[in-house]
Every structure is written in C-alpha cells, then in structure tokens.
C-alpha cells in the first residue's frame, strides 16, 4: 500500500438420472437448509432500518503514523456474528500486477462486503450521517475517478472525492455539516486518543467486540 498523504491538495472532482437419497441424508439436508434460512433471516433482520455512512481508518503496518481510509455503508444495528457481513466497504487500494517483465502497482476501486467488528486492521470509525439512497451512493462511488501515476492521488483523496459526490447529489440525509478538513481532523484526533487510551493494545480491558466509533452528528463517542 502506498503511503497516504493527509495534507494532499489534489483538486476536488468535477460535478466499479439420480439415485434417490436414503432417509437419513434427507434428514440432514433439511437441518442444513433450516440453518441456512435462519442465518439469512437473521442477516435480513439485523440489516433492516436506516443505513449509515462511516469513515473508517485502518492500520498500515509499514507506517503506523498513517492510515488507510475507506467508507462504510452499514445498517443502523450491526451484528457481531462473524459469519454475517452487512457492511459494504468502499475504498481505493493498490494491487500488484505483473505483465511480462513489468511489475506495476496500480490503484483500483473496490466494493466488498465486510464485518468491521471482525477485522484486525480496522482502528476506528467516524459516523458521518444517514444514507437516503444507498443504490445511488454505490453508483457514485463506482464513478469516482481512479488516477494512475499521480503522486497526489491516494486512498485519502479518493475518499474526499467520493464524499464530495455524495454531498453534491444530496444522498446523505441526516449528516454532520460537510467539511472535509473537519472530518479528517476529527478522525485523526480520535484515533490518536484511542491509541493513548490503549484501545488497540492486548492489555485493553474494555469491550473490544465492536469498533471504536465517534458520532460527528452528535459530537460524541458512541462506542469506546
């Protein structure tokens, strides 16, 4: 992962024949089907309601003083069941590509289902607001330009541009006033505070089943 430059001034963007089974086999099939349906129903139940937009900061092992930035669209009530992934992580990342004798590390956009409460690299999340049109938001994310070969482009500038798109399209309902500098400063101050508290240490005695989260709308911590 290329180092992220939090002070980047990259310009804002302009407005991706069978044998019949024996009875005991059928019995186990029915049990498995019942469990599968139950798991899907639990996922559906816990993902109902409003969707929320978060800025997520991830640890970068090569440089602990910088972070990988991503955006999460998550249900209001999130499960801690590790088998259920309700959150969609949107971000821009580097991948290693080999073409003949040439190796490149391009930026690519990725949208992937995750469970943030079971990710060893995530540090904190900042609640930015409620998403009123999730489908539109995801289309806008996929349309954010991914630029190659520019040292000022990174995961941070991608997140900045993505948030600008959402703001301009008015798909964030209840939300903190859009101010990129304030969003970034709040996230950096919060992750530093959690470091000082030992939140990411093996000696942490508090509840670590959920990601430390700060609500910018209410200006308070909601998950220590």
Residues 76-106 pLDDT 10s? 999 989 999 999 999 999 999 988 888 899 9
Q: Are 85 and 114 in contact (CB under 8 A)?
A: yes
Residues 124-152 pLDDT 10s? 999 999 998 999 999 999 999 999 999 99
Stretch 168-191: mean pLDDT, rounded?
89
- Report percent pLDDT > 70 for the chain: 77
pLDDT of residue 98: 87
pLDDT bucket at 195, cuts 50 / 70 / 90? very high
Cross-strand bridge partners of residue 162: none
Q: What is the pTM of this model?
A: 0.78
What are the DSSP calls for 5-73, one per residue?
Answer: -TT--PPPPP---PPPPPHHHHHHHHHHHHHHHHHHHHHHHHT-S-EEEEEEEEE-TT-TTSEEEEEEE
Q: 14 exposed, middle or buried (CB, 10 Å; 0-12, 13-18, 19+)?
A: exposed
**Domain residue ranges of the chain, discontinuous segments joined by +:** 49-223
pLDDT of residue 181: 94
């Amino acid at each position: 992962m290329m180092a992220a430059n939090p002070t980047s001034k990259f310009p804002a963007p302009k407005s991706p024949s069978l044998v019949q089974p024996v009875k005991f086999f059928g019995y186990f099939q029915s049990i498995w089907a019942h469990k599968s349906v139950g798991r899907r129903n639990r996922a559906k139940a816990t993902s109902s309601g409003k969707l929320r937009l978060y800025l997520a900061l991830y640890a970068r092992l090569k440089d602990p003083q910088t972070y990988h930035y991503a955006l999460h669209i998550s249900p209001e009530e999130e499960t801690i069941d590790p088998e259920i992934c309700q959150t969609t992580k949107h971000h821009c990342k580097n991948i290693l590509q080999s073409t003949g004798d040439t190796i490149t590390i391009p930026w690519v956009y990725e949208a992937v289902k995750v469970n943030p409460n079971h990710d060893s690299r995530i540090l904190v999340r900042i609640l930015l607001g409620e998403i009123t049109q999730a489908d539109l938001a995801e289309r806008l994310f996929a349309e954010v330009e991914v630029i190659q070969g520019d040292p000022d482009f990174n995961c941070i500038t991608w997140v900045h541009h993505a948030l600008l798109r959402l703001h301009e399209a008015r798909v964030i309902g209840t939300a903190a006033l859009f101010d990129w500098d304030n969003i970034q400063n709040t996230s950096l101050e919060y992750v530093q505070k959690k470091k000082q508290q030992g939140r990411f240490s093996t000696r942490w005695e508090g509840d670590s089943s959920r990601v430390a989260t700060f609500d910018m709308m209410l200006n308070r911590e909601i998950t220590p």
